[in-house]
Chains A and B, each alone.
Chain A
Amino acid sequence: MEEINALIHGFSVALTPYNLMLMFVGITLGVIIGVLPGLGGANGVAILLPLTFSMSPTSAIIMLSCIYWGALFGGAITSILFNIPGEPWSVATTFDGYPMAQQGHAGEALTGAFTSSFVGALVAVLMFTFLAPLVAGFALQFGPPEFFSVYLLTFCSFVGTGKGNPFKIVAAMMLGFAMAAVGIDIVTGQLRLTFGFTELLSGFHFLVAVIGLFGIGEILLSMEEGLSFSGHSARINPKIVLQTWAKLPRYWATSIRSCIIGCWMGIIPGGATPASFMSYGVARKMSRNGDKFGTGQLEGVVAPETAAHAAGTSALLPMITLGIPGSPTAAVLLGGLMIWGLQPGPLLFIEQKDFVWGLIASMYLGNIAGLIVVLTAVPLFAAILRVPFPIIAPVIVVICAIGAFTVKNNMLDVWMMVVFGVVGYAFRKLDYPLAPMVLALVLGDSAESSFRQSMLMSQGDLRIFFQNWLVGSLTGLAIIALFWPLISGGIARLRGAATGAARG
Chain B
Amino acid sequence: MAHNENSTQGVARTVVVDLVVALLIFSLGALVAFDSVRLGASWGSDGPQAGYFPFYIGFLICACSAVVAVQSLARLRTDRRVFVSGGQFRQVLVILLPSAVYVFGVWLIGIYVSSALFIALFMKFAGRYSWLRSASVGLAVSGAAFVLFEIWFTIPLPKGPVEQLLGY
Contact = CB atoms under 8 A, between A and B. Distances in A.
A398 B141 contact: yes
B99 to A, nearest CB: 5
A292 to B, nearest CB: 33
A405 B107 CA distance: 11
B123 A178 contact: no
B145 A402 contact: yes
Nearest to B35: A193
Contact of A224 (B22, B91, B106, B111): B91
A411 B102 CA distance: 12
B167 interface: no
A192 B50 contact: yes
B121 to A, nearest CB: 9
B50 to A, nearest CB: 4
Interface string B131-168: 00000010001100100010001011110000000000
22 contacts: A170-B60, A178-B58, A185-B50, A188-B50, A190-B39, A192-B35, A193-B35, A220-B92, A224-B88, A226-B88, A390-B123, A397-B95, A398-B115, A401-B111, A402-B149, A411-B106, A411-B107, A417-B103, A425-B92, A429-B84, A430-B21, A455-B52
B137 A391 contact: yes
A165 B158 contact: no
B64 A170 contact: yes
A174 B57 contact: yes
A387 to B, nearest CB: 10
Contacts of B35: 192-193, 195
Contacts of A398: 102, 111, 115, 118-119, 141-142, 145
A181 B122 contact: no
B74 interface: no
B145 A452 contact: no
Contacts, number: 173
Contacts of B153: 50-51, 54
Given A50-B155, A167-B67, A187-B50, A397 B126 contact: no
A432 B61 CA distance: 13
Contact of B122 (A193, A393, A409, A411): A393
Interface string B5-23: 0000000001001100110
A178 to B, nearest CB: 5
Interface of B: 1, 14, 17-18, 21-22, 25, 28-29, 31-32, 35-36, 39, 43, 47-54, 57-58, 60-61, 64-65, 67-68, 71, 83-84, 88, 91-92, 94-96, 98-100, 102-103, 106-107, 111, 115, 118-119, 122-123, 126-129, 137, 141-142, 145, 149, 153, 155-158
A439 to B, nearest CB: 14
Prevailing SS type, chain B contact patch: helix
A224 B84 contact: yes
A363 to B, nearest CB: 26
A167 B64 contact: yes
Interface residues of A, number: 58
Prevailing SS type, chain A contact patch: helix
A426 B21 CA distance: 9
Given A190-B39, A223-B95, A460 B68 contact: no
A171 B92 contact: no
A452 B48 contact: yes
Contact of A181 (B57, B84, B155): B57
A397 B145 CA distance: 13
Contact of B91 (A174, A226, A395, A422): A226
Contacts of A421: 96, 99
A51 B32 CA distance: 35
Contacts of B1: 426
A394 interface: yes
A405 B106 CA distance: 10
Contacts of A51: 153, 155
A418 interface: yes
A89 B57 CA distance: 30
A501 interface: no
A165 B71 contact: yes
B64 A171 contact: yes
A245 interface: no
Contact of B68 (A168, A226, A391): A168
A401 B103 contact: yes
Nearest to B124: A390
A394 B25 contact: no
A394 B22 CA distance: 31
A177 interface: yes
A98 to B, nearest CB: 23
Given A165-B68, A391-B127, A405-B157, A178 B54 contact: yes
Contacts of B96: 220, 418, 421-422
A22 interface: no
A216 interface: yes
A414 B119 contact: no
Given A54-B153, A193-B35, A402-B157, A216 B99 contact: yes
